[in-house]
Amino acid sequence: MNNWRRRFIVVAIAGLSAGCGHWTWVPAAPSRTSIPNGTVHEDLFSSTSLGVAKHVVVYLPPSYDRDSTRRYPVVYYLHGLAGSETDWVSKGGIDAAADSLFHAGTPEMIVVMPDGDDGWYTTWIHPLDYRTCADTVRNEAAQSYCVAHQRYDMYVAHDVVQYIDSHYRTQADRAHRGIAGLSMGGYGAMILALRFPDVFGAAASHSGVLSPLYSGAHPFVSPKYAATVDEARTNSGPYYVRYLNYWGADIERWRAADPATAAEEAVRERERLPDLFIDCGIDDGFVDQNRAFHAELVRLGVRHDYMEWPGAHTWRYWSTHVRESLAWMGRRIGR
């Protein structure tokens, strides 16, 4: 396990409330020299769902080593496309944000950051053979990127959760387990929480790709959606080829992978719904997708918190607002 150097970050907070939900101001971070620090390290474990060993970064709160019997809530933070398990610490400063929030009174939590490759946190319709993947020229080494089976939903919801619950002092139930992420990881957080409501009791998305079939019109009032996969091509942009690997050429498979569809099914089946938090920058290219998903949740009567703040699809935005999702998670799974 590798101990990582701690960092100081300055967090600027700007608030813009939109739609349903409520807002609570998060206190600004105090001086890093005046608060206890948690620890961050990296584990390697075997994933049955992927058929390979994967890395996971774990943040343990300041009291973890001082109290040998206490059990903690756990929140899983997913990275975005072309990202890695180290991003939330190295680029997002999530460890510093957690330290300051816990010092200010937010319930302490274990924060887990798994390696999700570019798998979109789903089981692929057209899986890629390991040898074919290994022959592809990439910045990341094949042994850390290529997998035997692209079952990234089961990998997170089962393998990673099981590993963490068996190796750390967790409160191993849905009421004390949340999931969050950015961009691709925001999609992953929403779809996994809605598809695995017995595993995750809360989910948060920063700038998520939350409505892949959205094709225009007013996203709050009358969103329009692609009726065929060909219609989805234009709005999918550079992601279209990836979507074909994930969901194939069947529009019904695309709909099944849509978070709004998952929410509608959960409502229809009267399943337990997770608490939901969604935010997006007003200058983000995915903001209309977020607005459309928000509108669908309103239509379905699904309670959730929806926020928009100034900002784009950048680490400046995510490192600023990770404090909001952490504080929100503490209020949901830290009770």
17 inside domain: no
pLDDT at 139: 75
27 inside domain: no
In the predicted model, residues of the chain with pLDDT beneath 50 are: 1-28
- State whether the Cα torsion 224-225-227-232 is positive or negative: positive
Distance CA 320, CA 150 (A): 32
Q: Judge whether 114 and 145 are in contact, CB under 8 Å.
A: no
Q: Judge whether 66 and 324 are in contact, CB under 8 Å.
A: no
151 inside domain: yes
- State whether the Cα torsion 58-63-68-73 is positive or negative: negative
- State whether the Cα torsion 115-120-122-127 is positive or negative: negative
pLDDT at 18: 36
Q: Where does residue 59 rank: exposed (0-12), middle (13-18), buried (19+ CB within 10 A)?
A: buried
**Global pTM value:** 0.89
Q: Judge whether 153 and 181 are in contact, CB under 8 Å.
A: no
pLDDT digit string, tens, across residues 270-316: 989 999 999 999 999 999 999 999 999 999 999 999 999 999 999 99
87 inside domain: yes
- Between CA 312 and CA 156, with CA 42 as vertex, the angle to 5 degrees is 65
Strand partners, 224: 216
pLDDT at 180: 99
pLDDT at 136: 81
Task: Give SS3 for 76.
Answer: strand
**Token pair 């961050």 in the structure block, residue:** 40
- Between CA 255 and CA 253, with CA 209 as vertex, the angle to 5 degrees is 20
pLDDT at 30: 53
pLDDT digit string, tens, across residues 29-73: 555 568 999 999 999 999 999 999 999 999 999 999 998 899 999
Here the CATH number for the domain that contains residue 284 is 3.40.50.1820
Distance CA 100, CA 170 (A): 21
280 inside domain: yes
7 inside domain: no
14 inside domain: no
Q: Identify the domain containing residue 162 by its residue range.
A: 32-333
pLDDT at 160: 98
40 inside domain: yes
Distance CA 264, CA 222 (A): 17
How many domains are there within the chain? Answer: 1
